[in-house]
Amino acid sequence: MNDMMVLKAVADAADGWKSAVTVSKEDGFDLDNAIMSFEDDPSDSDFQEGFLLSLLHMKEMERHERSVCEFMSGESDRTDTEEFNDDESTC
């Protein structure tokens, strides 16, 4: 792969990431359905790869926030001493 192809692939993936962020802010957006849509139609371009990576990142952040909220409220079964940054928490 030459440098121009790599740069285009990175730019296309970044565009996909940005597009996913924009779409996710629309009313009625369903993150789980958006991710599941890739099971039936796997990504076949750098843009789609970036889009999917962004969705998966959003899902992980959602899971992490839920975990933090549970930990902060005492509802968690966690016994470790991992500290959470609650400055940005929406609990």
Query: What average pLDDT does range 11-19 have in this prediction?
Result: 96
User: Using 50, 70 and 90 to split pLDDT, how confident is the model at 41?
Assistant: confident
Cα angle value 67/55/51 (rounded, 5°): 160
Q: How does pLDDT run across 54-78, given as a tens digit for each residue?
A: 999 999 999 999 888 888 887 666 5
> In this model, does residue 19 exceed pLDDT 90?
yes
Whole-number average pLDDT of the chain: 85
Compute the distance between CA of residue 77 and CA of residue 91 in angstroms, rounded to an integer: 17
Compute the distance between CA of residue 11 and CA of residue 32 in angstroms, rounded to an integer: 26
Q: Phi, psi (5° rounding) for residue 9?
A: -60, -45
Compute the distance between CA of residue 71 and CA of residue 49 in angstroms, rounded to an integer: 33
